[in-house]
Structure 1
Amino acid sequence: MTMKLLLMFIMFHMFILILHKPILILASVVPSPQVSPFPPILPSMTMIASSPGIHVGVEDEKMDSHNKKVKAFVVASTALSAIILCLLSFWIYYIINASKPNRKKNLQNSDSEKGLGFAPILSKFNSVKKVGKKGCVPIIDYEQIEKGTENFKESNILGEGGFGCVYKASLDDNLVVAIKRLNCECQYAEREYENEVELLSEIQHPNVISLLGCGTHEDSRFIIYELMQNGSLETQLHGPSHGSALTWHMRMKIALDTARGLKYLHEHCYPAVIHRDLKSSNILLDANFSAKLSDFGLAIIDGSQNKNNIKLSGTLGYVAPEYLLDGKLTDKSDVYAFGVVLLELLLGRKPVEKLSSSQCQSIVTWAMPQLTDRSKLPNIVDNVIKNTMDPKHLFQVAAVAVLCVQPEPCYRPLIADVLHSLIPLVPVELGGTLRVSHMTQQPPNSS
């Protein structure tokens, strides 16, 4: 905008100068009516009497001819000025438009500068080739993958998904990574593989998992990621430790990191990306318990979805009602899933719990009546963190969760609003703005 104003200012002054030039020329050519400093010499009566009207007629003809030449010069100069101004305008218009970035479905943003630099990591790989995909994804040889996972040893399995397992692997130079192995015998698995590789090759953000490479072998497809030492949020909350490593402040940090990752996808990617499968098992934690979004196989670019050609996908308990019933998918669908994750962090319960062999209950249905009751809320909080937080902060988080899981998407907040409400609840040391005198490193033993 500043460049445009500067160019318009220059054009305006050039226009004034160009139009002003013929006027100056005219002023210098046309005789001035100013009084001569010398007194006029009056002709004698005899001269006027002897040749009446002759000298006056000659002077009139000369002045008339002179004025016509001046007018023609002014018209020509003005026309030339107009042509030059038009050409200048077209040139400036071209320069301005040529400088605009091409936003042809590029998932880029200033936040990408904060992402991890891949060059030092990828330089450790032998047998790395560049492919003609967007983002130029390295191809890792199958032999290296097989060797790194010790021939897909069962003890190296980090987790399991719908189409395969994730293995811990050690590649060249002892670079430890996570490798997802997908069995792509079916069409959906192949589509998810291609979708995830294409999206992650263009995304770089501190709260989104980093793609290091990919590979193929027969019906198997491989995606190589950075290793997240503390596994998934689901394992931390619902695994053997039952959330004992996660203090109140740590849980708020994880919620804040997750919101930052979603905000990047929704508001800073062009066009926007909808994750579509946000859940605790797809939120991974590094050595410092910083959270990163993972598993983009079901993610879609906002605006590209068509109710008739998109398979209804997601995980029970996290799927928004409007998507489940009508197939309507928006960024507010991710906000609903985020609300469920927030309830998991707050209550320590699974998103769906089995009541009997034929009956299940969602965490939203169970918790909603108690979340809005200040006398009941403290009693349903996860025992690991009970009575370790400021009650005011507890009520604030509960209020955010209630808004996120509203049945009508129009009543849910934008993820940016959620982010702003969480920042004051997270200590400065963990990425928020809360200043605390003492941070409890370990929560009290659950009773």
Structure 2
Amino acid sequence: MQSFGKGKRISAGTFVAIVVSIAIAVLLLSVLRWCWRSRKKEETINDGNDITNVESLQFNFSIVIAATNNFSDDNKIGQGGFGCVYKGILSNGQEIAVKRLSRSSRQGAEEFKNEAVLVAKLQHRNLVRLLGFCLEGEEKILIYEFVPNKSLDYLLFDPDGSECLDWPTRYKIIVGIARGLLYLHEDSQLRIIHRDLKASNILLDGNMDPKISDFGMARIFCVDQNQANTNRVVGTFGYMSPEYVMRGQFSVKSDVYSFGVLLLEIITGKKNNSFYRAESAEYLLSFAWRNWKEGKALELLDPILREFYSRDEVMRCIHIGLLCVQDNVARRPTMETVVLMLSSYSVTLEVPQPPAFLGYRKMEPKKPTREIEEQSTESDRSTSRSLAGSINDVTITELDPR
């Protein structure tokens, strides 16, 4: 027995229990303090917007020069609104794609910083992988993994190239894009809205697996944030959702809309913003909707695929595409639901409502109250690209939403 104060005694067992409890409490506090400090340090590294926080990814300019043979024209594999893309080979034999931002680009520095900070944090098999970056003087360069099979639009909209895209390959591409978007929206450390999803920003690796590229337009959302507004609308006509074009409102559902357009393009082999049937004044979405309502949805299928395809998969994909491009934002599914619908036939699909027809002339106010500036890049007439997909086919529009 131990004595504590006058006439108060405590058993040895109780004393030991008290000492052990205090020791455990001190240990737990120490562990919690260490974890807190580690987390704060990690947040400083991962969540800072300063590009220099990603020091381990920085390439010396001399290495880039050597890899691309001083940016030789023979190494150029793509060109677009933000600059050029070159194929390069590092000293260890690794092939890379080098995105060199144009010095004259008004948005080059901001887009560069945005893309580098974002992509460095993202790791998913359906996203293009950023290997590093280079900042030297006015040079702003991004270094990516080299993706050999170019961008989806290069094959999909070329009569000769589209023969490489049989239905199983197209279905794999659709599912891969959906999973990549789901990662951006729900599964990464940050909630990211891509804002420029389109065929030219989908790269295809050696196994024809898709990789989403070009995060120069992307925006970070808080985990519990659902929507944001902007006075500067950027993206590509034909893929941008109507609420974004007209009111500057964007959300995960804006990406869902773009995915729906892209899905219908993959099925039809037709480019949305160039598809037009003069005899009926139809665009791709209205054409798809009319055929769906008339029970002729399979007529949407790319003629190259007519003899070899899965009817159930094609019909389900058309159905999902129409759900994604509905005019009513709330009725569009999330990417989580889209992935589930693509992977399980036990999921019942809702009846789609009319899409937002992308006859942009009809969407513009009769009496314009804002200045619209369009910058079309060479990509509408683009030739070959590989990682080139990260800078092509961009139409930048700046406007003041009503």
State whether TM-score is above 0.5: yes
SS at match of 1:169: strand
Asked if structure 2 preserves the Cα contact closer than 8 Å seen for 1:372 and 1:399, the reply is no
**Residues 395 and 314 of structure 1: is their aligned pair in 2 closer, same or farther, counting only changes over 3 Å?**
same
Q: For 1:82-161, list aligned pairs within 5 A.
A: 92=28, 95=31, 99=35, 102=39, 104=43, 132-134=52-54, 136-142=56-62, 144-161=63-80
TM-score normalised to the size of structure 1?
0.65
Distance 1:287 1:402 in 2: 30
Asked if structure 2 preserves the Cα contact closer than 8 Å seen for 1:274 and 1:330, the reply is yes
Deviations along 1:266-302, one digit per CA (max 9) or x if unpaired, are 1122231111111111110011101111111111111
> Which amino acid in structure 1 is aligned with residue 266 of structure 2?
L
SS at match of 1:204: coil
| Aligned: 1:420 with 2:344 | no
SS at match of 1:399: helix
- Which residue in the other structure is 2:328 paired with? 408
- Of 288, 291, 304 in structure 2, the residue corresponding to residue 367 of structure 1 is 288
- Which residue in the other structure is 2:152 paired with? 233
Deviations along 1:221-254, one digit per CA (max 9) or x if unpaired, are 2211111110000101013524110110100111
Deviations along 1:192-225, one digit per CA (max 9) or x if unpaired, are 0011111122222211111122224553422111
Distance 2:215 2:281 in 1: 28
- Which residue in the other structure is 2:254 paired with? 333
**Residues 403 and 80 of structure 1: is their aligned pair in 2 closer, same or farther, counting only changes over 3 Å?**
same
- Which residue in the other structure is 1:209 paired with? 128
- Which residue in the other structure is 2:300 paired with? 380
> Which amino acid in structure 1 is aligned with residue 320 of structure 2?
V
Deviations along 1:343-402, one digit per CA (max 9) or x if unpaired, are 111111102126499x996422332222344x3111221011124223222211111111
| Aligned: 1:307 with 2:242 | no
Q: For 1:56-71, list aligned pairs within 5 A.
A: none
Give the structure, 1 or 2, with the largest relative contact order (CA under 8 Å, sep 6 or more): 2
- Which residue in the other structure is 1:318 paired with? 239
> Which amino acid in structure 2 is aligned with residue 157 of structure 1?
K
| Aligned: 1:398 with 2:398 | no
Deviations along 1:70-107, one digit per CA (max 9) or x if unpaired, are 6x557xx9999999968966764664575477384887
Asked if structure 2 preserves the Cα contact closer than 8 Å seen for 1:136 and 1:201, the reply is no
SS at match of 1:152: coil
Distance 2:135 2:32 in 1: 45
| Aligned: 1:284 with 2:206 | no
| Aligned: 1:342 with 2:271 | no
**Residues 194 and 81 of structure 1: is their aligned pair in 2 closer, same or farther, counting only changes over 3 Å?**
same
Q: Give the count of matched residue pairs.
A: 334
Return the offset for 1:326. Answer: 1.7
- Which residue in the other structure is 2:381 paired with? none
- Which residue in the other structure is 1:14 paired with? none
- Which residue in the other structure is 1:251 paired with? 170
- Of 169, 175, 190 in structure 2, the residue corresponding to residue 271 of structure 1 is 190
Any gaps of 5 or more consecutive residues in structure 2?
346-402
- Which residue in the other structure is 1:164 paired with? 83
| Aligned: 1:294 with 2:216 | no
Asked if structure 2 preserves the Cα contact closer than 8 Å seen for 1:200 and 1:210, the reply is yes
SS at match of 1:243: helix
Asked if structure 1 preserves the Cα contact closer than 8 Å seen for 2:45 and 2:54, the reply is no
Distance 1:105 1:205 in 2: 22
**Residues 376 and 298 of structure 1: is their aligned pair in 2 closer, same or farther, counting only changes over 3 Å?**
same
**Residues 135 and 250 of structure 1: is their aligned pair in 2 closer, same or farther, counting only changes over 3 Å?**
farther
> Which amino acid in structure 2 is aligned with residue 296 of structure 1?
F
SS at match of 1:139: coil
- State the structure with more CA Rg: 1
> Which amino acid in structure 2 is aligned with residue 384 of structure 1?
I
Distance 1:407 1:191 in 2: 32
Taking only the aligned residue pairs, the percentage that are identical comes to 31
Return the offset for 1:336. Answer: 1.0
Deviations along 1:389-440, one digit per CA (max 9) or x if unpaired, are 2322221111111111111221111111111222359xxxxxxxxxxxxxxx
SS at match of 2:304: coil
SS at match of 2:208: coil
TM-score normalised to the size of structure 2?
0.72
**Residues 240 and 169 of structure 1: is their aligned pair in 2 closer, same or farther, counting only changes over 3 Å?**
farther
